[in-house]
């Protein structure tokens, strides 16, 4: 949260990766995105998952978190005691990043973004079929389909999940295209994408357009006449959230663990002590204490940069 000589980075979302460190260490697949976001001049060392790194009297290693491309949990061991900082993570299948790895530990630091029993995710393939059906219905009606997705992680997952269902290209906002090209360079297979060209006058009727949520209500949207809008997020599990935001459709797809996955992961690690961050930490801590786990909230201050986390403060 403050400038430091050395920062170990779980992933490249802005609430977990900030300028100000003299040196960074991150998982190899995360480094190109970190350079794009922090600057090419930054000293960033790439490490492989599972590679032991001696730091002082500790040994550190990075292990896949399944959140986004290059995301990692960070394991810190000293004198036989092991702590794991999970960063953001999910247990669901995702063709755009390595799967979550359970790392046994004594102390587990977990996110609690969606730590309420209502948050249970459908399969991503089911959601992709819903998106395709919505897109095709709008095609028949001669309308553009504008799907708002977070530019880093969620948009690429949607493009990858749609790839087995259609070969039609998707138009994307410039912020989405930049990150998508980095995913392609890492070998991730997705639908073809075409940038929305502000200088080009064209009719987007029947097209699917993926844009970051910040583009909603902006001048950029004026080119999509009569568009139907959708939003892709775990927050869409609660229908009132879609109505309040004014989207025509909500699709339940998250890059964070849902309620059952959070509880299963904590148990899988074997941790005797659990520290929680983000979101509904108080709910998770209360339940864990009722189950006899030594649990507490870890106060790390306000977070900005991961839209799911930012939204947690609202809901």
CATH number (domain holding residue 84): 3.60.15.10
Whether 143 and 226 map to the same domain: the answer is yes
* pTM for this entry: 0.92
Residue 308's pLDDT is what?
54
User: What integer pLDDT is reported at residue 302 of this predicted model?
Assistant: 59
pLDDT at 306: 52
Report the 3 state secondary structure along the chain: CCCEEEEEECCCCCCCCCCCEEEEEEEHHHHHHHHHHHCCCCCEEEECCCCCEEECCEEEEEEECCCCCCCEEEEEEECCEEEEECCCCCCCCCCCCCCCCCCCCCEEEEECCCCCCCCCCCCHHHHHHHHHHHHHHHHHHCCCEEEECCCCCHHHHHHHHHCCCCCCCEEECHHHHHHHHHHHHCCCCCCCEEECCCCCCCCCCCCEEEECHHHCCCHHHHHCCCCEEEEECHHHHCHHHHHHHCCCEEECCCCCCCHHHHHHHHHHHCCCEEEEECCCHHHHHHHHHHCCCEEEECCCCCCCCCHHHHHHCCC
Q: Which domain holds residue 111?
A: 4-118+255-312
Q: According to the model, what pLDDT value does residue 246 have?
A: 82
Claim to verify: residue 166 and residue 218 sit in the same structural domain? yes
Residues 164 and 143 occupy one common structural domain = yes
Same domain as 152, residue 235: yes
We report the CATH number of the domain holding residue 177 as 3.40.50.10890
Do 278 and 236 fall within a single domain? no
Number of domains, the chain: 2
**Separation between Cα atoms, residue 160 and residue 155, nearest integer Å:** 9
pLDDT beneath 50, residues of the chain = 309-315
Do 11 and 73 belong to one domain? Answer: yes
- Same domain assignment for residues 146 and 199: yes
């Amino acid at each position: 949260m403050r400038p430091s000589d050395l920062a170990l980075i779980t992933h490249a979302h802005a609430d977990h990766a900030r300028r100000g460190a003299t040196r960074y260490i991150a998982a190899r697949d995360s480094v190109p995105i970190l350079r794009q976001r922090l600057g090419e001049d930054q000293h960033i060392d790439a490490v492989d998952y599972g590679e032991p790194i001696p730091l002082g009297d500790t040994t550190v290693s990075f292990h896949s978190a399944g959140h986004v491309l290059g995301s990692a949990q960070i394991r810190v061991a000293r004198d036989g005691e092991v702590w794991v900082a999970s960063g953001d993570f999910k247990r669901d299948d995702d063709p755009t990043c390595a799967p979550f790895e359970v790392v046994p530990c004594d102390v587990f630091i977990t996110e609690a973004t969606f730590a309420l029993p209502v948050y249970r995710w459908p399969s991503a393939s089911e959601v992709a079929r819903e998106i395709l059906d919505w897109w095709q219905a709008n095609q028949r009606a001669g309308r553009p389909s504008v799907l708002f997705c977070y530019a880093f992680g969620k948009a690429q997952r949607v493009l990858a999940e749609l790839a087995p269902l259609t070969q039609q290209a998707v138009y994307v906002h410039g912020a989405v295209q930049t990150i998508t090209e980095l995913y392609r360079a890492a070998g991730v297979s997705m639908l073809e994408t075409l940038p929305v060209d502000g200088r080009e006058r064209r009719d987007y009727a029947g097209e699917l357009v993926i844009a970051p949520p910040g583009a909603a209500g902006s001048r950029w949207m004026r080119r999509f006449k009569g568009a139907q809008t959708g939003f892709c997020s775990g927050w869409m599990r609660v229908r009132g959230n879609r109505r309040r935001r004014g989207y025509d459709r909500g699709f339940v797809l998250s890059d964070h663990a849902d309620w059952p996955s959070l509880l299963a992961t904590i148990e899988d690690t074997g941790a005797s002590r659990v520290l929680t961050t983000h979101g509904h930490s108080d709910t998770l801590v209360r339940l864990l204490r009722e189950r006899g786990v030594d649990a507490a909230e870890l106060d790390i201050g306000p977070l900005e940069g991961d839209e799911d986390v930012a939204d947690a403060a609202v809901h």
